[in-house]
Chains A and B, each alone.
Chain A
Amino acid sequence: MRFMLLFSRQGKLRLQKWYTAAAERDRKKMVRELMQVVLARKPKMCSFLEWRDLKIVYKRYASLYFCCAVEEQDNELVTLEVIHRFVELLDKYFGSVCELDIIFNFEKAYFILDEFLMGGEIQDTSKKSVLKAIEQADLLQEVAMIQSVVLSLGQ
């Protein structure tokens, strides 16, 4: 996978994960262009399209478009499953996830994505495993925060 984008029907970017290096200006241009192309698609069309030299796999979940750019040799049907797995993870974590959750907790969405994929490849195929890791990391964060509060109170 080269990159993943999440954006709303109004063309607002909610998440962008790039697995290749590119100039900021080029990235912005690509995002703009791709959003235009995907948003112009009618509901009956298939989830795959060709764009530049990449294959784009996209799926709409409620008001959010999940869009991945994969390479020539990648399996598009499996990419759809990857997208679905990510949505399931978000859903489990946030409890019936909606776009607002991702807007207000974008950093958590990133954390989940980074626990699920690395360099565009799946790290762990077990939903349970990924969620457990996030949970533990969140706990660690909590503990660290409490510790620092205790410390500051003690002073």
Chain B
Amino acid sequence: MPAPIRLRELIRTIRTARTQAEEREMIQKESAAIRSSFREEDNTYRCRNVAKLLYMHMLGYPAHFGQLECLKLIASQKFTDKRIGYLGAMLLLDERQDVHLLMTNCIKNDLNHSTQYVQGLALCTLGCMGSSEMCRDLAGEVEKLLKTSNSYLRKKAALCAVHVIRKVPELMEMFLPATKNLLSEKNHGVLHTSVVLLTEMCERSPDMLSHFRKNEKLVPQLVRILKNLIMSGYSPEHDVSGISDPFLQVRILRLLRILGKGDDDSSEAMNDILAQVATNTETSKNVGNAILYETVLTIMDIKSESGLRVLAINILGRFLLNNDKNIRYVALTSLLKTVQTDHNAVQRHRSTIVDCLKDLDVSIKRRAMELSFALVNGNNIRGMMKELLYFLDSCDPEFKADCASGIFLAAEKYAPSKRWHIDTIMRVLTTAGSYVRDDCVPNLIQLITNSVEMHAYTVQRLYKALLDDISQQPFVQVSSWCIGEYGDLLVSGQCEEEDPIQVTEDEVLDVLEGLLASNLSSPVTRGYALTAVMKLSTRLSSVNRIKKVVSIYGSSIDVELQQRAVEYNALFKKYDHMRCALLERMPIMEKAAANGPTETVQTNGEAEPAGLEPKHPPTIIQPANQANDLLDLLGGNDVVPVISTAPAMKPASAGGELLDLLGGLSLSAPTPAPPIPMSQPPFLLDGLSSQPLFNDIATGIPPMTAYNKNGLKIDFTFERSNTNPNIAIITIHAANSTEAEMTNFVFQAAVPKTFQLQLLSPSSSIIPALNQGPVTQVIKVLNPQKQQLRMRIKLTYNHKGSPVQDLAEVNNFPPQSWQ
């Protein structure tokens, strides 16, 4: 049998293969030759064959038939055989293989071999891939070698011990005695591996950790070694770019971190050396920065004094300005970890962090974004938001969802004004509108509803943006809802905040019809649009056109749309007298968590009338959601001519509101109001009329004058909250009949203990002269015990240059306001 070809020959041959198929053929041929050679038990060429097999294995071809041959090579006396045999074992014989354990005896023998290089091979194999059983069997041998004076073997034994401990943690104790003098070695190899061993032990066992802290006094030893490294002169053997043994330095720093964590004494003992390393390390090359990075990590983790912490954060700040992107990346990661604990220090580097948003690297951008959100606060919100919105514009799609959510959260927490908040949200919707989460739509609608003075501005801006782009669904949904709700403001051109645009009714309806017809609109969006069109029937005068649109969709293929259209049609035909009431303006909705007076919310989302509204995913603002859904159709509680007043039938609970009313239909609660006569068709709408929809309406409670002195007249008008009948919503109207305006007007009120008061922000703090425009402010009073309402008010303002202050009691509340 001719001698098997040499390894290099095989490699050369395989590389000439031009196709995958050709290569496979060559490999198969050689595999067969190797297999038959193995069968012949040829000792001479076994080594060569296994080497070739390993090459083929690296190319991805099967090599399992070589496993036993590796074992034979390991058992051989020839060093060459052993070298290849152990290599093969490490590549082919990991612990999952059945024959893995057969190595144990060979390794044991080789651990005691006379040649240190053979011992080294055995230690290396054991230390890289020994299984737990093997480690258990051979731990004693490793421990012996850990105590030898041969530094070559000692360093390898230490790392082998690390592996043994990782595999069999219970054996840790056994290596403890051998660690006693490890750190007094001069040899850097032994020092380094010893530090690794000590680190492993301290990380795994708190007992070991305290033992090393107290009994062995590890910290002073390490500090000494580190100091020597830094202070000592040039040592060519361990030098890397002018720094002495950076690998050892980093390892020591890491061990110090573990020793110092949570321990005051240890932390104090290492303060000086950490400061020294932090200030003296050369930062021109990566090596120096690697050491600084480890130092920063250590400083942040131990109980360091504040000066040191600031030093650490400043190092990170300098890293951020480094040209090397790796360093910037590492800095951002670390800052993210420390931003919670050292917030102020990190704030100082805010502008640099924000600049990183413009970096080219994806990982850096992501970290910069996360860090930016963590740094947003009330003071920097405007500036930060500008940067973040710019980032949202230009970032990759994978970021947009997270960025949009983050912006919404930040805006909600720190918005300096309602207009700014709405502007910001609109900007997000128009730039990243398809990436926002679904629950943003009801959130935003609730926010818009609550900003009463911004309605005209909002609808105008949304309308303008809608003209440009109708593809982003969440944005379109919000816009169509607003247009439906505030379309009259749009057409009448009432905008205060910016120049009003001229929009005709037809144009508005064109846009909505366009949405209905467009392929870009999702079914949910179409639902919104149709409802918006319907609402406009009470706000605009083009009723006929709206009737036409609604009737067209009565035969739509989309079942949801069809049902709506049919029901709206019915509204036009049979219940036209109810239409105004049902489609009235939406009241201010309250969020469950936000306002004090509201009681716990009933989350009966499933009670939604089927098919009437888009199915929103449940969110924390359940009541607003449901209010949104049903009130959308059933209207708010402004002046309603048709339905007369009546006290609430249902028990005082928020949330369910109209849903409860609907649910209570079957109970046929008695009502003082004359029932509106009608038949009993199956539509849900009709059922509503048999019961009063609204608790108390503005016309029910008479207004009163609370204060009238020195030209300042304050009137109170009342409403009851739709969500909670115990809440009275008082709107104060402050009018100034003098010739000079009153500036810095502040209205304060106090109520008896059984009441709760909430003061919303006033429309303005300047009351113009000569009764030109009253200042309004909303007060909400919760009166669960139905006691007589009394209020003490305090007024402060500036009039004709001098400050005026007055106190007054208000006792003449009409009984209906608090009963």
Contact = CB atoms under 8 A, between A and B. Distances in A.
Given A44-B360, A136-B117, A106 B58 contact: yes
B294 A119 contact: no
A140 B127 contact: no
A77 B329 CA distance: 10
Interface in B355-401: 360-364
Nearest to A77: B290
A28 B626 CA distance: 53
Given A50-B363, A106-B55, A128-B237, A75 B189 contact: no
Contacts of B254: 75
Contacts of A115: 120
B530 interface: no
B286 A81 contact: yes
A18 B329 CA distance: 27
Interface in A95-147: 103-104, 106-107, 110-111, 114-115, 118-119, 121-129, 133, 136-137, 140-141, 144-145
Contact of A107 (B60, B87, B127, B131): B87
Contact of B83 (A50, A81, A137): A137
Nearest to B189: A124
B11 interface: yes
Contacts of A19: 128-129
Interface residues of A, number: 52
B183 to A, nearest CB: 15
B94 A21 contact: yes
A145 B330 contact: no
A46 B246 contact: no
Interface string A11-23: 0011110110111
Interface centre among A78, A80, A128, A145 (most CB of B within 10 A): A78
Contacts of B115: 140
Contacts of A50: 363
B156 A118 contact: yes
A119 B159 contact: yes
Given A46-B363, A76-B330, A81 B240 contact: yes
A46 B115 CA distance: 45
Contacts of B192: 122-125
Interface string B638-676: 000000000000000000000000000000000000000
A12 to B, nearest CB: 8
Given A28-B60, A48-B326, A140-B117, A124 B155 contact: yes
A47 interface: yes
A128 B193 CA distance: 17
B189 A80 contact: no
Contact of B238 (A119, A121, A125): A125
A22 B96 CA distance: 8
A74 to B, nearest CB: 9
B402 interface: no
A129 B238 CA distance: 10
Given A16-B58, A76-B330, A121 B246 contact: no
Contact of A118 (B7, B79, B127, B363): B127
B469 to A, nearest CB: 31
Interface string B285-317: 011011001100100000000000000000000
Given A44-B360, A49-B363, A81-B247, A141 B80 contact: yes
Contacts of A107: 7, 51, 54, 83-84, 87
Nearest to A124: B189
A45 interface: yes
A81 B287 contact: yes
A148 interface: yes
A118 B160 contact: yes
B286 A80 contact: yes
Given A107-B84, A111-B87, A119-B162, A78 B361 contact: no
A148 B579 CA distance: 107
B327 interface: yes
A117 B361 CA distance: 31
Given A125-B247, A125-B248, A80 B60 contact: no
Query: 3 nearest interchain CB pairs?
Result: A77-B290, A124-B189, A46-B325
Given A78-B250, A125-B189, A125-B248, 9 more contacts: A18-B129, A21-B95, A21-B96, A23-B96, A46-B325, A46-B328, A75-B250, A123-B193, A125-B238
Interface of A: 13-16, 18-19, 21-23, 28, 44-50, 75-78, 80-82, 85, 103-104, 106-107, 110-111, 114-115, 118-119, 121-129, 133, 136-137, 140-141, 144-145, 148
21 contacts: A13-B58, A28-B60, A45-B363, A46-B328, A48-B326, A48-B363, A49-B363, A75-B254, A78-B294, A81-B247, A103-B15, A107-B51, A114-B87, A119-B128, A119-B159, A123-B155, A124-B189, A126-B238, A133-B120, A137-B79, A141-B80
